[in-house]
A and B are shown apart, each in its own frame.
Chain A
Amino acid sequence: MAVTSPIPGARFVDPAVLARVGNLQLVAKSVVDGLINGTHRSPFFGASVDFAEHRGYVAGDDIRRVDWRVYARTDKYYIKEFEADSNANFSVLLDVSTSMGFGAAVSKLDYAKTLAACLTYMANQQRDRVGLITFDADIVDHVPPSAKHLDVVLHTLDRAVAARPGRFGPPMRKLAEHFGRRGIVVVISDCYAEPDEIFDGLGPIRSRGNDVVLFHVLDPQEIDFGFAEPSSFEDMESGDQMPIVPGKLAADYRKLVAAHVETLTTRASQQRMDYMLLNTSLPLDFALFRFLSLRERLSHVR
């Protein structure tokens, strides 16, 4: 029996996924701008438990922050400074181009929506401001980051359909100007663009201090090319048709896809972005758990 929710997009918040990754946090690797206390490092000192440094007392400082132990040793007043924890802007950039509608059991778009919803829910739970931008060749929907926009984000996700052909570069370049404050930007796309175009689009966003995470969503057919019968293959975005004998092309195709993924991995690493390939045949909780735990471990190393 289906359980109806007052929020249409709530169906994308998969309890199974959250149960698996609920004890993890999507923590920004860099400092982010925030107004309230959160889980991310702030560019400012604040009231956290993490000691940062000592500085000399100046008039106006709260005498409660004077380190009396240091005064006893040095006979000078020093103030203890602490790291400030902040909340962050968490934005999901979701590719809703026609190609995202591909998928036999589950479409890439549905998989991506679930991913976006789960991440947004997690971010909202850790008091981050959540927003959503859907794009194809242009920006389709824009939900600005806000601590109260979870419902709006879920609504928007529910409405998103893969209807038009997409391009990666133009919407990214347009969005780069939009991210005024440093935050976390999650890009979910099937990345059917040349690596140069992808990273030319993401570069400005990253250079503004945002922590960019690129999720590359692909259907297993796109990875393995497991077609058998010679057929005409139609590009879902351009409508072009091409007669294909899969048996002759599969090996070359797989090599090209592997090279594409390899290039994206390398380029993302060079630009200090996180990149992860998601195969829609794998359970999302499994992939997300792997990603978040890896990210958490690496952030400690850094």
Chain B
Amino acid sequence: MSFLTPLFLLALGALAVPVLIHLTQRERKSVVEFPSLMFLRKIPYESVQRRRIRDWLLLALRLAALALIVGAFARPFLRGSELAAAPGGARDIVVVLDRSYSMGYGDTWQRAQQAAAQAIASATAADRISLVLFADGAEVALRSTPETSRAVAEINAASPGPGSTKYGPALKLAGSLLAESLLPRKEVILVSDFQRGGWQPDDTLRLPGGATLTTVPVEGASGINLALTPVALQRIRTAGQPERVGVTASVLNRSATPAANVPIQLEMDGRVVQTLSVSVLPNSSASMTFAPLTVTAANTHASVRLGSDKPEGLSPRGSVDALARDNVFHFVITPSAPVPVTVVAQTGRAEANLYLSRALAIGDTPRFEATLQSADALAGDTLARARLLVLNDVPIGDAAAARLVTFVEGGGGLLLALGPRAIWPASRDTWLPARLLNPVDRTRGAAAKLSGLDYGHAVFEPFRAPRSGDFSTARFYSYRGLAAAKDATVLARFDTGEPALVERVAGRGRVMVFASTLDLSWNDLALKPVFLPFVHQLGRHLSGFREQPAWLHVGEVLDVTSAEIAAGATVAGSGTAQGSRTVLSPSGQRRDLTAPQAAPGAPPPSLALELLEQGFYEIRVVGRDAGPGIVAASNVNLAESNLERMDPQELVAAVSGGGSSGPAGAQDVLPDEAQELAQRFWWYLLFAGILLLIAETVLAQRLSRAAR
């Protein structure tokens, strides 16, 4: 019998304390002289008997219970047990199996399953087996079990997914599993096709000391390997005609075999609408443009697919090569909706709107649809149609201001471009991000320039990089002084430090004040190259425009909230609906997506959806007739289709840190911790100790009652 923590046995000495106290008290010769014991004799107290042990059984129970508990803490175990006598020493095996989509190339996956099963078959009864499945991320499918049959069953039940290979997370997970292991031999068996793209050297990645990495490379039959790259969409608008979309697809041939006359199909909502053929030279690419199509419905499911027939499920049948997943590219097409902009200007001053109108008329993302309106005609209907309102140097009365406040707080955007005619009612002065002051004349001396731009803001963010637009060349000969409100954000200042562009969030909308005009009367900004993108950025930001991505990749996270806003037709409808969403995955599984509760006063939290499958995800609001909801197209990572292999020993050298090879006979005997853990005598001792204490309590109560 040995003890893992023998120092606890010192506590056994405490058992003798009560007995020693009893003995020392009894034997003590110290005598106190007292004048008379006359009174003490009258007290009916058997002081002598108190020091006499009367209930030997109770004492024995207490001492035995304490001894057992102390023994439990000392962690006893038997050396040389059956566990320690396993031939060769017990192993903790972590089988790390690559399930990225490249493993679906030919019969690679079947070979990988066989290799993993063989590795497990070599395990003895004393060995422990864990199974880690990995692609982008890694998950423990089975944790430290001696049952090889379970491990084999898990391997057989697994299948390649749409993820791409990343060795780092998988090896880290395997290392953490082995770090917890107490067995003498630790081994990681990595079964993969060892794509070079899956390995990023990581100095921090090391397996625990004594652990070995065994690589099992598997390869499928070689052959042609084509892949579709992301498509290019071209929107064609003709006056009086609905918008048409042209799709250009590129095919990549990653093999040394040329591909000739490979059919390539364009599918819309599951129907093949066009078929072309493409020939691709070895290790090169080719592009094909389909005839433009008219798209009328939002969230149209579109796919470009290599091969003449649509494959069933995920099988490569009908596919042009052995790796089917990269032979299809999904995307979503939605007819572009213009952003309605109302420019309010004084009647008869067409030149004041010239540059602004021309700037808004250019561009696709988004397309602005500007209409001119006089200040007198500002009415509810006008405001209801607009998502952005530009007050281009016009006086605003109190009634019109009230309507504008309602418009902005309902979700609209408002831009005030100030000139000599701009007036805002003083009664609503505090609503604006800045109070309007008198004009500042800079016609004499040096003209004012813009400086101090907030490049972190969405409006100026595209101009952040060098040579991405120079605002300092614009000269401002006059501008209106602005007194920015405390809660307003000054996005740009003149070189004098006075605010040039101020923003404030009002309700669900935004309002900005530009201190000068958008024509040439007070500045020459409209003549500068930055004017067009500046106006577009103002329009995008104030109108709340968000672009919905036509496709995403597996492993990426879809911001459902932003996607819903991007899909919203009007500003008023851009507020995201609260509550749960139902997500229909490409495999047909339906699940709920619930937003976390928002804190009082805080904006509603964003909903996020991780894309784990290849295909189309459909997200709808639960319990609300919200139309088609949103659709996200999810595609496999194209880098995974590159089957170039790396030398597995490179990986071994990297994670083994110079090769602490596996333990040999020196560690054949289990360490004490492992033996103790396997035997767990302490648990029985503790249990027995507690039982004795319970028995002692019962006995003591009975004796106490009897004594009364």
- Chain A: residues with CB nearer than 8 A to chain B? 99-100, 102, 108, 190, 192, 219, 222, 227, 229-238, 240-245, 248-249, 252-253, 256-257, 260
Contacts and interface: CB of A to CB of B under 8 A. Distances in A.
A274 to B, nearest CB: 23
B424 to A, nearest CB: 90
Interface string B28-46: 1111111111111111010
A242 B50 CA distance: 13
A191 to B, nearest CB: 10
B32 A248 contact: no
B47 A248 contact: yes
Given A222-B34, A232-B28, A233-B32, 7 more contacts: A230-B47, A233-B34, A237-B36, A242-B47, A244-B40, A248-B50, A249-B47
A230 B45 CA distance: 14
Interface of B: 25, 28-43, 45, 47-48, 50-51
A260 B37 CA distance: 14
Contacts, number: 82
A241 B40 contact: no
Given A230-B25, A243-B48, A99 B36 contact: yes
Nearest to B26: A243
Contact of A248 (B28, B34, B45): B45
Contact of A235 (B25, B37, B43, B47): B37
Contacts of B38: 192
B36 A235 contact: yes
B35 A190 contact: yes
29 contacts: A99-B35, A99-B36, A102-B33, A102-B34, A102-B35, A190-B35, A222-B35, A230-B47, A231-B31, A232-B31, A232-B32, A233-B31, A233-B32, A233-B33, A233-B34, A235-B35, A236-B36, A242-B37, A242-B40, A242-B47, A243-B47, A243-B48, A244-B32, A245-B50, A248-B45, A248-B47, A252-B43, A256-B39, A256-B42
Contacts of A257: 39
Contacts of B48: 243
Contacts of A232: 28-32
Contact of B37 (A240, A245, A248): A240
Interface core residue of A102, A234, A244 (most chain B CB under 10 Å): A244
Contacts of B31: 231-234, 241
A253 B33 contact: no
A138 B87 CA distance: 97
Nearest to B43: A252
B32 A234 contact: yes
Nearest to A242: B37
A230 to B, nearest CB: 6
B25 A234 contact: no
Contact of B34 (A100, A234, A252, A260): A234
Contacts of A249: 40, 43, 45, 47
B39 A236 contact: no
A245 B35 CA distance: 17
Contacts of B34: 102, 222, 233-236
Nearest to B32: A231
Nearest to B48: A243
Contact of B33 (A229, A236, A252, A260): A236
Interface core residue of B31, B34, B40, B51 (most chain A CB under 10 Å): B34
Nearest to A244: B47
A162 B30 CA distance: 23
A234 B45 contact: no
A247 to B, nearest CB: 11
Q: Considering the complex of A and B, which 9 residue pairs feature the smallest CB-CB distances, nearest first?
A: A99-B35, A192-B36, A256-B39, A102-B35, A235-B37, A252-B43, A231-B32, A233-B34, A232-B31
Contact of A227 (B25, B32, B51): B32
Nearest to A237: B36
A144 to B, nearest CB: 30
B36 to A, nearest CB: 4
Contacts of B32: 227, 231-234, 244
A233 B28 contact: no
Contacts of A243: 47-48, 51
A242 B40 CA distance: 9
Nearest to B36: A192
A252 B39 CA distance: 9
Contacts of B33: 102, 233-234, 236
A252 B29 CA distance: 25
Contact of B45 (A102, A236, A252): A252
Nearest to B44: A252
Given A102-B33, A222-B35, A243-B51, A233 B25 contact: no
A195 to B, nearest CB: 12
A268 B348 CA distance: 130
B35 A231 contact: no
A228 B380 CA distance: 96
Contacts of A253: 39-40, 43
A246 to B, nearest CB: 9
B25 A242 contact: no
A231 B28 contact: yes
Contacts of A237: 35-36
B25 to A, nearest CB: 6
A190 B39 CA distance: 13
A102 B32 CA distance: 11
Contacts of A100: 35
B30 A231 contact: yes
Contacts of A252: 43, 45
B73 to A, nearest CB: 33
A227 B47 CA distance: 15
Nearest to B50: A245
Contact of A233 (B29, B40, B42, B50): B40
A192 B38 CA distance: 7
Nearest to A165: B36
Contacts of B50: 245, 248
A102 B310 CA distance: 117
Contacts of A240: 37
B109 to A, nearest CB: 82
Contacts of A248: 45, 47, 50
A244 B25 CA distance: 11
A219 to B, nearest CB: 7
Nearest to B35: A99
Nearest to B29: A232
Interface core residue of A233, A248, A260 (most chain B CB under 10 Å): A233
